[in-house]
Each structure stands twice: as C-alpha cells, then as structure tokens.
Chain A
C-alpha cells in the first residue's frame, strides 16, 4: 500500500512564525502536491513538484513556498504565518508515468493548522 505521512495532525502557531509542514511518501512517486482544504471551497492546489528540486505554482501559492530536496519528501513552508492561513493542509503523491494526468493521487491524513 502507498503510504503518505504528514509530520503533524494538529499544529498551533502564532502570527508571524515560520511554519514547516513535512510530507513523506514511501512508493517512489515522481509527483507530489500540497493542497489546502477549506469548507465550501474543496481542495485548492498550492504547489506541486514533478521531480526533485523542481516546483510549480498551483492556484494559490501566495504566502507559501516549497522544498523538495529528496524524492520522497516535500515540504510546505509558511514564511510568516497569518490568520488567513488557518486551514487543513493535505499532501498527495502520484506515480508520474507518461500517463500522468490519469494518475491516482494518494493523500496523507492532513495537518490542521491554526494560526492565532
């Protein structure tokens, strides 16, 4: 079974703090994704990565950055957390074959971040 793990289930931070959310997958997947999930808005893509050291902006990258130094690990960074970044953050990975757009995405359990 594919396993995607996220470093924390719940996190509480203060405004202005730098926040790191870590994601690790164990199936040698090429692609990794970060989403935020908000009620009534579904999942919105923040950033994704097709390969080590490569990153692409999603729909809502403002206020976020990412790092992918190793294939299995994809980190989301909030440089200066703000209250409007309080949300559920979901990491996902997919195989990344030539049929990438048909790939199933496998999700971690999510990190519920509260910024006070």
Chain B
C-alpha cells in the first residue's frame, strides 16, 4: 500500500519569504508524484508532477519540487511567496489507476 504524509498541517510565512512544504511517501514500487493547490472555495488544480527523468520539477506560479528517492520525499518550494499563494496544498501519489492524497498543508502568507 502507498501512503502520503505531509509533515506540516499549517505553514505561516511573510510575503516575499521562501517556503518549503514537506511531503514524504511510502511505497515499495515506483510511483508518480503530484502537488495540487486548492484556493479558497475552489476545487484542486495541478501545480506540478514528477513522472521520471530530472528530479527537479518546475510547476506553475514559480513553484518547484524535488524528488528524492532515497529519502522518499517530494518537497515543494518557492523562493519568494505572494499573498495570492495563500491556499491549501496537497501532495499525492499514484501507482495504480487511483491516487492517494496527503492531509494537506495550509499555507498562509502574511503581508
């Protein structure tokens, strides 16, 4: 079975500061990894995904994530956040035809 652990339920940060949202997964086989974002009162939308190849994946809105197989991690980073990045972020793992989501990290960007 595969599972996803998001290590922080809430991350407050000031505008223009860097941020890292942490995600660890457990799986005995190769997986595909995703980060989704949910803005207030909206559904989820894809930020980025790792399928294969380069371990550094760039996504929309200046976000990037690094796949680390030895540490089974897929942490999301942004060098300088904006107020508009305030949202909930979900890490997800796909192995078979379905996807498993983490519990989410609420990022709050303060002015």
Counting contact residues on chain A (CB < 8 A from B), the size range is: 20 to 34
Q: Which residues from chain B contact A110 at a C-beta distance below 8 Å?
A: 42-43
A58 touches B98 (CB 8 A): yes
B111 interface contact, C-beta 8 A: no
Q: Closest Cβ of chain A: how far from B106's Cβ, in Å?
A: 10
- Pairwise interchain contact B41-A109, C-beta atoms closer than 8 A: yes
Report whether A43 and B90 are in contact in the complex, using a CB–CB cutoff of 8 Å: yes
Contact between A101 and B95 (Cβ–Cβ < 8 Å)?
yes
Closest Cβ–Cβ distance, residue A8 to chain B (whole Å) = 14
Q: Which residues of A contact B104 (CB under 8 A)?
A: 42
Smallest Cβ-Cβ distance to B91: which chain A residue: A42
Assembly CA distance A33 to B95 (angstroms): 16
Assembly CA distance A98 to B104 (angstroms): 29
Please indicate the chain A residues that have their CB under 8 angstroms from the CB of B36 in the complex: 107
Q: Is the CB of A102 within 8 A of B51?
A: yes
Closest to A99 in B: B51
Q: Tell me, yes or no, whether A90 is within 8 Å of chain B by CB.
A: yes
Q: With A42-B104, A102-B32 in contact, do A33 and B43 touch (Cβ < 8 Å)? A: no
Find the B residue at minimum CB distance from A112: B41
Find the A residue at minimum CB distance from B9. A40
The reply to whether A105 and B9 form a contact with Cβ atoms under 8 Å apart is no
Assess A48 versus B51: contact at CB under 8 Å? Given A40-B9, A40-B103: no
Q: Among B32, B42, B96, B100, which residue has its beta carbon within 8 angstroms of that of A109?
A: B42
Chain A nearest CB, measured from B54 CB (Å):
15
- Set of chain A residues within 8 Å of B98, measured between Cβ atoms: 33, 45, 48, 58
Least CB separation from B34: chain A residue = A104
Chain B nearest CB: distance from A33 CB in Å?
7
Tell whether A101 pairs with B96 under 8 Å between CB atoms, given A40-B103, A42-B103, A43-B90: yes
- Footprint of B on A, CB under 8 Å? 4, 31, 33, 35, 40-45, 48, 50, 58, 90, 92, 100-110
Nearest first, the 4 closest Cβ-Cβ pairs linking A and B are A107-B43, A43-B101, A42-B103, A107-B44
